[in-house]
Amino acid sequence: MVEDFLLAYTKLLVNNSEDISVEVSEVDENFDEIIIFANSEDVGKLIGKEGRMINSIKTVISGCKAKGGKSYRINVKAV
């Protein structure tokens, strides 16, 4: 659910949507790490001015914690 949302949402924000991919790895049973891979041109758009965009994405994802009980860490990396 989280992976599908992030993939669809981040593709709307960037210029090179074909380069977007999302990888979720389970650190332990209550914690997942999400890595968003994007074109190097688009990394700044995903992070936003003063980190506002990535913080808003993190806020939406933290709502999933209330439903599923898992915590998430989100990273953006250039391809």
- Give the integer Cα–Cα distance in Å for 66 and 9: 20
Q: Which residue has the tokens 């090179």?
A: 16
Q: Of 36, 31, 39, nearest to 14 (Cα)? A: 39
Enter the DSSP assignment of 15: S
pTM across the whole model: 0.88
- In this structure, what CATH number is given to the domain that contains residue 22? 3.30.300.20
Q: How many domains does the chain have?
A: 1
Amino acid letter, 64: C
Provide the residue-wise pLDDT of the chain in tens; the chain has 79 residues: 889 999 999 999 999 999 999 999 999 988 899 999 999 999 999 999 999 999 999 999 888 777 778 889 999 999 8
Note down the domain range covering 73.
Answer: 2-78
Please list the residues that pair with 13 across neighbouring strands: none
